[in-house]
Amino acid sequence: MKIKTFIGWDIGGSNTKISIIKCNKAKSEVHEIELWHDAGLSKLKKLISDLGTNQNGTYHGITLSGEMCDIFPSRKNGIDTILSFFKKFSSNTYVYSSSGFIKLHKIREHKKVASMNWYSVGEMISKKIDNCIIIDMGSTTTDFIMIKNNTIINKREDDFTGINNDELLYTGFLRSPIYALTDEVRVNMISYKVIPENFSSMADVYQILKIIDIKYDYSSRADRRSKTILNSYKRVARSFGFDFKHNHKKIIEKLCQEIMHIHITKIYRSLRIIIKKNSYKNNNVKIIGLGIGITLIKKMVNKYNMTYINMNTVLKNHPVRFDKKTLIHFPSYAVAYLLREKHE
């Protein structure tokens, strides 16, 4: 009997995540591919060509959000361009939508497949737990996926409806610049203004605070220099208008602590809104954290005395073995796993 392999693709604007399920084992990986320039598109095309195969027993499942990049004149054009890279594997390639998988050559309504990576997570987890809110914090965005009575109840259909229903926040654990969170930070009764330029990012803040594991940190820094902690101090200092010196370490660390609290508050405010809108009981609602920002989600839950459920508990007795990378890149895994269910 031929062993089946399922490859889940989550193609974003700045990173492409891949999960491969084979013999009840999963491995996940991430490739930093910035689609907003031609070199990024070429890099993606090569990656797909290298991993793709028409071989019997290998199936590709695709979800994507990279169509939002401004290199494309429209989201439809972005979807068409990205999916065209899979054409030579079309016989065993499926695109994920909220109504199930669609064969690559049968895509007719682009809206059905655009930015649906979050829905794949909800579909998989809704089979395991009846009521919860999943918070998936990636490098760039934070998704709130609501499940009630084993059903996804989000109003979100695209980024526009997601943002305006507080179900999608354009704030992430790595790539978001400090100025996207606040224009000033107060420490010891002194206000420090933030320069609205891409001098630093939240990855620098969390590296300084030692809550980011560098081996899972998959995003480049604002100045494209190395990810040393010294360079993070320099980048954050630049965001406040001064050059770093070693006697600045304590104040920069205090600034970073305050920035983290602002970040947590921003996420919690959106969470409170959707809890109220959807009649969840505030302190009884079960929160599941996913993504590279899972540590921050846990800090928020502890701060506001909420109930947290570990994903390993949710997926107890799960038939596939996976590691921490899978929890960081979960939409690609969810797509691979749901595709496996379809073909079993």
55 phi-psi bin (left φ>0, alpha ψ -120 to 50, beta other): beta
Euclidean distance between CA atoms 268 and 275, whole angstroms: 10
Angle at 283 between CA 278 and CA 285, to 5 degrees: 50
Euclidean distance between CA atoms 334 and 174, whole angstroms: 22
pLDDT of residue 53: 67
**Residues found in the chain:** 344
Please answer whether residues 222 and 177 qualify as being in contact, where contact means their C-beta atoms are separated by less than 8 angstroms. yes
pLDDT of residue 219: 87
DSSP, collapsed to helix, strand or coil, labels residue 170 as coil
pLDDT of residue 343: 84
Please answer whether residues 29 and 17 qualify as being in contact, where contact means their C-beta atoms are separated by less than 8 angstroms. yes
DSSP, collapsed to helix, strand or coil, labels residue 160 as helix
Q: Looking at domain 5-119+318-342, which of 3.30.420.40, 3.10.310.10, 3.90.79.10, 3.90.230.10 is its CATH number?
A: 3.30.420.40
Euclidean distance between CA atoms 136 and 141, whole angstroms: 8
Domain boundaries, the chain: 5-119+318-342, 130-314
Decide whether 5-119+318-342 matches 130-314 in CATH topology.
yes
Euclidean distance between CA atoms 282 and 72, whole angstroms: 41
pLDDT of residue 282: 60
Torsions phi, psi for 307 (to 5 deg): -100, 125
Residue with tokens 């749901």: 338
User: In DSSP terms, which residues pair with 190 in a beta bridge?
Assistant: 187
Q: Where are the alpha helices (DSSP H) in the chain?
A: 38-51, 75-84, 117-125, 159-164, 202-208, 229-239, 249-277, 294-303, 311-314, 324-328, 330-342
Which helix (H) or strand (E) is 187 found in, with range?
A: strand 184-187
Rounded-to-10 torsion of CA 232, 172, 299, 270: 140
* CATH code given to domain 130-314: 3.30.420.190
Best CA proximity match to 11, nearest among 68, 57, 50, 72: 68
Q: What is the pLDDT along the chain (344 residues), one digit of tens a residue?
A: 578 999 999 999 999 999 999 999 999 999 999 999 889 999 999 999 988 766 778 999 999 999 999 999 999 999 999 999 998 888 889 999 989 999 998 988 888 899 999 999 999 999 999 999 999 999 999 999 999 999 999 999 999 999 999 999 999 999 999 999 999 999 999 999 999 999 999 999 999 999 998 888 888 898 999 999 999 999 999 999 999 999 999 999 999 999 999 999 999 999 999 999 988 876 679 999 999 999 999 999 999 999 999 998 999 889 999 888 999 999 999 999 999 999 87
